[in-house]
């Protein structure tokens, strides 16, 4: 093996010149690039989180809206049936206070009352549906606004991470 000529002379190889300004500038550039990447990654994660939260909120609100509308419609139908029964009783009593009708006559009177009140019931059901729909739309808008404000507050509280990295 052939010895290195520098080591053969007993001298150390010369170290390259050290420039402190270049090292500091390079460190600053590397830190800024890293901070920008981190900031972009965090912002992307926050955006993804916001989108996911909004989608989950929309799904849950839609499900709740459907449940509430179904419940309201069931209540309205029950109330209308009760009203129909009361109307039938009133109609029977109005026609004959002694209430001496046979069962078939009572059934005929009930059928007549039902046909007379069917239009009224349809109108009330339609009004109830429209009212419930309007209430639910307002509720959804309010919940979406609340969720958006909450997400923005969370983003604002997470912004300190971005601000600290840029320093």
pLDDT tens for each residue of the chain, 167 residues long:
455 555 555 677 666 666 666 778 888 889 999 999 999 999 999 899 888 988 898 889 888 888 888 888 888 888 888 888 778 777 777 776 666 666 677 778 777 777 777 767 677 777 777 888 888 888 888 888 888 888 888 777 766 666 666 55
pLDDT of residue 38: 93
Question: Which residue shows structure tokens 């604002």?
Answer: 156
pLDDT of residue 20: 64
Range of the domain at 74: 19-166
Whether the model clears a pTM of 0.75, i.e. scores above it, the answer is: no
Question: Domain for residue 9, yes or no?
Answer: no
Question: Domain for residue 8, yes or no?
Answer: no
List the structure tokens of 19.
């420039």
Question: Domain for residue 3, yes or no?
Answer: no
pLDDT of residue 22: 76
pLDDT of residue 36: 92
- Determine the Cα–Cα distance for residues 76 and 166; give it in Å rounded to an integer: 59
- Determine the Cα–Cα distance for residues 109 and 104; give it in Å rounded to an integer: 9
Question: Domain for residue 64, yes or no?
Answer: yes
Count of domains for the chain: 1
Q: Give the closest residue to 78 by CA, choosing from 128, 40, 35, 31.
A: 128
Question: Domain for residue 135, yes or no?
Answer: yes
């Amino acid at each position: 093996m052939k010895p290195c000529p520098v080591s053969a002379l007993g001298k150390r190889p010369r170290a390259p010149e050290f420039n402190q300004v270049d090292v500091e500038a390079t460190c600053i550039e590397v830190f800024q690039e890293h901070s920008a990447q981190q900031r972009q990654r965090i912002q992307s994660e926050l955006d993804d989180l916001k989108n996911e939260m909004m989608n989950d909120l929309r799904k849950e609100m839609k499900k709740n809206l459907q449940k509430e509308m179904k419940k309201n419609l069931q209540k309205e139908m029950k109330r209308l049936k009760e009203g129909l029964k009361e109307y039938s009783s009133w109609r029977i009593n109005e026609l004959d206070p002694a209430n001496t009708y046979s069962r078939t006559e009572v059934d005929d009177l009930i059928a007549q009352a039902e046909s007379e009140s069917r239009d009224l019931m349809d109108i009330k059901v339609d009004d109830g549906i429209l009212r419930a729909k309007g209430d639910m739309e307002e509720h959804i808008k309010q919940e979406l606004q609340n969720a958006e404000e909450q997400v923005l507050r969370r983003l604002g509280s997470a912004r300190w991470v971005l601000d600290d990295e840029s320093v």
